Amino acid sequence: MTVTIDVPPSQPAEVVRPEGDPGGADTLAEALHTASGRYEEFSDETARIQWIGGWYGDAADAYREATAEAGEEHAAMARTVERVGRAVTAYADTLRDLLRTYEEQVDRKEALDARRSALIADINAATEATPDVVAALRERATELRDDYAELVTDHDDLQRRVREAEDLLRQSFQAGTSLDRALADDGGVPQSAQDALSRRGAPGSEATPEQVHDWWLGLSEAEREAVVSSYPELIGSADGLPASVRDDANRVVLDDDLATLGSKRDDGTLSPTEERVLANAEQARQALEDADAFEDPITGERPGGLLHLYDPGAFDGDGRVAIGVGDLDTADDVAIFTPGITTTMDDTTSYTGQMINLYEATRYNGDGSSVATLFWLGYDAPDAFYDPATATEGRAEDGGRRLADMVDGLRASRPDDPAHLTAIGHSYGSTTTSYAAGDFDLAADDVVLIGSPGAGPADHADDFSVGADNVYVGRDSRDIVAVLGDEGWVGKGPVGLGTDPSSDDFGATRFEAEDVDRADIRNWGDAHSSYLHHDSESLYNIGLIVDGHGDRVNVAEHSYDPWYDFARDPEWDREPSSGVQGESRTRENRMVP
Amino acid sequence: MSTFGAEYSGLSYGSGNWRVLAELMTSTSRDLAGQGTGALAPSVQAAAEAFLTAWSGYADESSTIAIGFADAIDAQAVDYSTTDEGSGNRFTDLDGRLGPAR
């Protein structure tokens, strides 16, 4: 009896490699960014030499008129070549992704071909074709056919994405080539991107985060690529879009800044303002490299960094930035950290390091859920202790609104898969977080205030959107900033920024947060800045809260104010620990048994 | 025009800056012309080459514009200087004295 087993052919015949070289494309993008910087310099310089000292009369008037015209046109040229440069940067990034997918498909095909060869060998070797043997061989053939079919589908998808990426870049070049297009307001922007942005719900049209999310879902993959490469600043700050999309867009702008301003520095044409922007960009780049290189302590894999917000020229050069560790789009537990006074983009690498600590601690003591942590400097933090803005709550109120909006955006980007979300505020950032939760309906699950000078508008934890049971407070008894808030029936006058949230009247859960190296007196050194240090009580407890287990924190007694004396802190005399399991260990620590 | 005037140092400063811009744009033109497109997919290369060729030309034109401004300012300075010198001679030739000394 003859038995037929239908072995599928090897498919696709060839996994076609996407053409092009990302590194070479980056080089071309850099050249275009350099050209953009020079056109910009041309425009800026014409503004400077439009008025030549001591020269007046008809000739001088005519000169100024001609100069102004040249300046405007060169500014338009700078914007167009910048857009095309960004399109090339985005193409290089996309090409890298496509090449990774290609390599994966090559590996898959090799594995499938090996299975196919083994199947053929087993068929040829079968001397006794019992029904069971035949059924097993047929089942293997069927599975192989299905897997080949899946590979063919994925390969078709890869080739489609390759064509779309190439089409988009070609259209970008064409949209900026003729002089008319080069001088146009939308020079270098392909029609597909313009069409996509004109649809209802697009960012920048005062759409809600939910509408922006729906707008994004309605775009084709090609349109998505087009708007990311053509409008990266807009997409990079659009609440409601997936964090990975914002990251792609912001990295395009970051690369642009580094290349354009870097070449202006080489040309010696960098202004003081641009110098600050470049320094901020370099901070962001370093922080991203740190986040990208970080390895999860449990899996050993790299969860990756995210540039969630990037606006290096904002707030008079202090900059706005948000850098994440982990995948904000999928993480089970998300923590958003808001820093306090004196924080600028100069501090980005330092705070990103603390976000890595928080991620690590949460995973180390966690229940296995996935985690993402985000350093969010989306508001204008006061510049110094003596900055008049520090003594008022205006910046905190504005920041609270911005924080609540950003969280709304995160929520809208994951409507069917909400994360457990913890908002953490430090120092003045705790007052900012209090405004978000007290006045702007912060859509978090838990709130953590550390080193807090006061809870802003909230007199009681019940005033927060998350409810009193989900408000946690960490205060080192030596932290001088954290005793500024009002406490007891007398209060402390205008020095604080609302009620002390660690006091018994406030009604939050206070957790242990003493620094093992604490001094004998109150200070704003380590006592105020070590809440996210490894192997500290504070980081241990915050990690548990971020992981969704606030009920397991090591509770500390509240401070209280006896009517006859100053406020008392029961934590003052407690001996703190460091690196002790169940109290303060936050990572594998070879120094501690 | 009821008033006019110029300071030579100001005109010279302006002219010098225009010439620096001209050099910058010449360099830009050269950089763009020298860029290869081989790193891009073949389907994109023609568009990229057209773009780079056009923009190399635009940068050249910007350089020409900047030189034009510099030359015009320099010419203006020469005109002022020549006119002022000529006018000076006219006044030098005038004899404003009275009596026998005239």
> What ipTM was estimated for this complex?
0.89
Sign of CA dihedral A132, A133, A135, A136: positive
A248-303, pLDDT tens digit by residue? Answer: 999 999 999 999 999 889 988 899 999 999 999 999 999 999 999 999 989 999 99
Asked if A58's CB is within 8 angstroms of B1's CB, the reply is yes
Q: Does A195 share its domain with A316?
A: no
Q: Torsions phi, psi of A321, nearest 5?
A: -155, 150
A82 in a structural domain? yes
Q: Does A334 share its domain with A198?
A: no
Helical pair A22-48 and A58-125, crossing angle rounded to 10 deg: 170
Q: Give strand pairing partners of A509.
A: A472
Q: Does A251 share its domain with A362?
A: no
Please name which of A204, A280, A191 lies closest in space to residue A235, comparing C-alpha atoms: A204
Asked if B44's CB is within 8 angstroms of A170's CB, the reply is yes
Q: Does A451 share its domain with A534?
A: yes
A553-563, pLDDT tens digit by residue? Answer: 999 999 888 87
For chain A, list residues with pLDDT below 70.
Answer: 1, 384-392, 488-495, 589-593
A274 in a structural domain? no
- Number of domains making up chain A: 2
Ranges of each domain in chain B: 16-86
What is the span of the domain harbouring residue A36? 22-264
The pLDDT score that the predictor gives to residue A8 is: 95
A581 in a structural domain? no
Q: Does A415 share its domain with A528?
A: yes
The CA-based dihedral angle spanning residues A427, A431, A436, A441, taken in that order and rounded to the nearest 10 degrees:
120
For residue A41, give the nearest of B24, B37, B44 by CB distance.
B24
Residues of chain B in contact with residue A91, where contact means CB-CB under 8 angstroms, are: 40
Q: Does A381 share its domain with A513?
A: yes
Closest alpha carbon within chain B to A17: B41
A337-384, pLDDT tens digit by residue? Answer: 999 988 999 999 999 999 999 999 999 999 999 999 999 999 988 876
A475 in a structural domain? yes
CA distances from B13 to A48, A54, A234, B21 (A): 11, 12, 40, 13
Q: Does A226 share its domain with A124?
A: yes
The pLDDT score that the predictor gives to residue A592 is: 47
Q: How far is A77 from chain B (nearest CA, A)?
A: 9
Q: Does A342 share its domain with A243?
A: no
Residues of chain A in contact with residue B31, where contact means CB-CB under 8 angstroms, are: 31, 34-35
Q: Torsions phi, psi of A463, nearest 5?
A: -70, -15
Parallel/antiparallel/unpaired status of strands A471-474 and A509-511: parallel
CB–CB of A350/A283 below 8 Å? no
Residues of chain A in contact with residue B47, where contact means CB-CB under 8 angstroms, are: 169-170, 173-174, 177
Indicate the residue among A216, A232, A264 that finishes a domain. Answer: A264
Q: Does A345 share its domain with A242?
A: no
Residues of chain A in contact with residue B71, where contact means CB-CB under 8 angstroms, are: none
The pLDDT score that the predictor gives to residue A385 is: 66
Buried b (16+ CB within 10 A) or exposed e, A224-257: bbbbbbbbbbbbbbbbbbbbbbbbbbbbbbbbbb
